[in-house]
Amino acid sequence: MEIAERSRARVQERLARLEQEFGSTPVDQTTFSVGSEAYQRAVERSREGQVDVHAFVHNESGDVLLSDADGSWEIPQGQTQGGERPAAAVERVVTETAGVACTIRDAVRATICGVRNEADPDAETVYRLSIVFDAEINSAKLDSDATETADGADASIRWDDASDVAVAELV
């Protein structure tokens, strides 16, 4: 029970910090099975204390920022690095993936993900935390579908109506 207990304790600690920073945030839990390689990545990310972060970044019209992720449009998402706070990770990820700066408004939802190894039913469940944040763009001067990221590369982005079905599916 070593992996399960430690990963669950890390998740609970991160949830407590999230509540201190943003107040009460809805929390749900899901469990799923993945292949051996994905399971090992989940174990390593848990050991490193990484949290998955996602951002709904709104412009002045209320539209949601989507970035091109290998041919599919997604809200900006990534993981914390080192001792980085999840809200700071979101700001970094949005800048890296979409080339824009944002300000976090709130934590929308947290999900505790129990990850099982489908190839080894006796392997312990490892627990990960995924947090969805609501944010607003810092600059209204973004009018094109492409901008430059922090490393100088082009990032394809678009704004979708927040009530759009495609955006709703990303939640």
Paired sense of beta strands 64-69 and 72-74, if any:
antiparallel
pLDDT of res. 158: 87
pLDDT of res. 144: 43
pLDDT of res. 143: 42
What percent of the chain has pLDDT above 70?
A: 84
Distance (Å, whole) CA 132 – CA 86: 10
pLDDT digits (tens, 9 = 90+) for 10-24: 999 999 999 999 999
Is residue 95 pLDDT above 60, yes or no? Answer: yes
Distance (Å, whole) CA 34 – CA 21: 32
Name the pLDDT band for 139 (thresholds 50, 70, 90).
low
Is residue 109 pLDDT above 70, yes or no? Answer: yes
pLDDT of res. 150: 46
The average pLDDT across 131-145 equals 74
pLDDT digits (tens, 9 = 90+) for 144-154: 444 444 444 44
Distance (Å, whole) CA 55 – CA 66: 10
Q: Give, as one character, the DSSP assignment of residue 101.
A: -
